[in-house]
Amino acid sequence: MKVFDAKIYQKVPDGILFDTDNTLYDYAHAHTAAMDAIKTKITTSLSISGEQFDKVFKEARKEVKAHLGNTASSHSRLLYFQKFLENLGLGSQVLLALDYEQTYWRTFLSNAVLFPDVRELLDEIRLLGIPSVIVTDLTAQIQFRKIVYFGLDHFFDYIVTSEEAGYDKPHESPFLIALRKIKPEGNCYWMIGDNPVNDIQGAKEKIGAITLQKVHEGVKIGEGATAPDCLFYEFSELRNLLKKIVKDTRVIT
C-alpha cells in the first residue's frame, strides 16, 4: 500500500463508494473467457473465420459506442451482438443476439472471482455502521446479477448504475445520486475503484472524495489530475488501514 495523502488516516469515513468491475474482481480474466466462448460458438455456427469475427465484432462495438456515447446502454452486449449480426448481412436476428448475450454473461460470471478479503472488508464496514454504495457503469440488470452472483447483495446499502444515473462515470450524476442515497452525516467519503479517470478523478473532482485505487495487472496508476490519495494491492491492506483509523480515532476521543 502507498499512501500519498495522510489525511485518509484522520477520520473514519462517513460513507464509502465502491466501483465493481475490475475493482472487486479481475474483469479482464472473466471477459477474456467470455469472448473466447462466444467466438468459438459464433465461428462454428456461422462458419466464419476467427479473423472475420474479430473484425466485425470490433466494428460493431465501436459503432454502438459512437452512437450512444457515455451511457449505460453503450456497454450492452446485446446491442453489440445485434449490430454484429446486422454487419454480417444477416439482419437483427433477435433470437441469436439473445443467445449470444446469454452465452457471454453465463461464461463471464462463471469465470469471475472476487479478490481475496473483499467480503471480510465489507463485513467490517457493515459492522462499523459505515454506509456503503456501489457506483458502477453498465445496465442495472447485469450489475444486479453480478452482485447477487458474488453473494454481496446483503453487504451494500445501495447501488447506483449508470443506467439509473443517465451517464457513465466520471459524470457527476452517479456520484451525487450515491451521496443522496446514503445520506452521510459528514463530508468524508471514500471512493474505491480501479479506473484513474472514471473512479479516481471523477470522485475527487465531483464530490471531493478521498480516493483509493485498486492496483493489479493491467491497471494504469493515476498521475497528476488522476492520481489517487492511496494505492492498494490487496483488500487486506484496506482492512488494516480501516482498523488503524478506528483504533486511532478511539484513542483520540
Report pLDDT digits (tens) over 15-54: 999 999 999 999 999 999 999 999 999 999 999 999 999 9
Percent residues over pLDDT 70 in the chain: 98
Tell me the pLDDT of the chain averaged across its residues. 95
pLDDT for the residue numbered 139: 93
Q: Under a CB-based contact definition with an 8 Å cutoff, are residues 17 and 135 in contact?
A: yes
Chain-centre distance of CA 39, in angstroms?
24
pLDDT tens column, 224-244: 999 999 999 999 999 999 999
pLDDT tens column, 51-69: 999 999 999 999 999 999 9
Q: Is the pLDDT of residue 115 over 80?
A: yes
Q: Would you say the C-alpha torsion 96, 101, 103, 106 has a positive or negative sign?
A: negative
Domain at 2-25+114-252, CATH from 3.40.50.1000, 1.10.1060.10, 3.40.50.720, 3.40.50.300: 3.40.50.1000
Beta pairing, strands 158-161 & 132-136? parallel
Q: Is the pLDDT of residue 251 over 60?
A: no
pLDDT for the residue numbered 169: 97
Domain coordinates of the chain in residue numbers?
2-25+114-252, 29-110
Region 101-127 average pLDDT: 97
Q: Is the pTM higher than 0.85?
A: yes
Neighbour-count burial for 208-228, b at 16+ CB within 10 Å, e otherwise: ebbbbbbbeeebeebeeebbb
pLDDT for the residue numbered 46: 95
Q: How far apart are the first and last CA of the chain?
A: 27
Residue 6's pLDDT band (boundaries 50, 70, 90)?
A: confident
CA–CA gap between residue 46 and residue 113 (Å, rounded)? 31
